[in-house]
Amino acid sequence: MTMKTFIWILLLGFVSIICTSCEPWFKPVLPPGISIYKTNADYFDHTDIGMKGDRIFRTSIYFRDGDKFIITETDTIYKNRVRLLNGYILDFEADSRYDVFLDLTFKQQMALEKIYPGGIPHDILKSHILDKDPYSVYYRDTAEPRLFEQTVGTVDTSELNQIIRDGKLDQYFEKLK
């Protein structure tokens, strides 16, 4: 056996020991978890954008996903928000750190996107800001593994409504606001 072969065998053995005896080098990323919140006013049919300070970093990219909407001649329904008891909203995409609600409905914002196919200019979006700090109460499922399903149609809203009725949101969700 040559010295080069011996070094390769030694190196592979060392790497094998390291890889099998330690925690994984990375932790799998879980989906962000469902959110349950109340807003300062009724924004249920309004769009939101993501802002850090005065900088917009998330606009209307979710409009490109047609599976998130039911569109009829008279209405546009966003499927990732569901009304719960006592004014709470279940949301699959909300982010309490960055969400800013606009005075635009989903239908209105989609119409603007047709006018600006490259993206609505940020100055126009800023002119439609309704509330930069919209959440009065905000909970998120941060448990590992998640306690509740993460996709529309798989979450049992009757279970969530019972948790709200029983006043136990703090037992199942992390209160972020």
Any idea where the domains of the chain sit in the sequence?
30-175
Q: Is the pTM of this model over 0.85?
A: no
pLDDT tens per residue, range 68-126: 877 888 887 787 899 999 999 999 888 999 999 999 998 888 888 888 888 899 999 99
Q: Report how far residue 91's alpha carbon sits from residue 89's, in angstroms, rounded to the nearest whole number.
A: 6
Handedness of CA 94, 100, 101, 102 (dihedral sign): negative
Given a cut of 60, whether residue 6 has pLDDT beyond it is no
Average pLDDT of the residues in 13-34: 57
What's the pLDDT score for residue 173?
Answer: 92
Q: For residue 148, which of 119, 124, 169, 176 has the smallest C-alpha distance?
A: 169
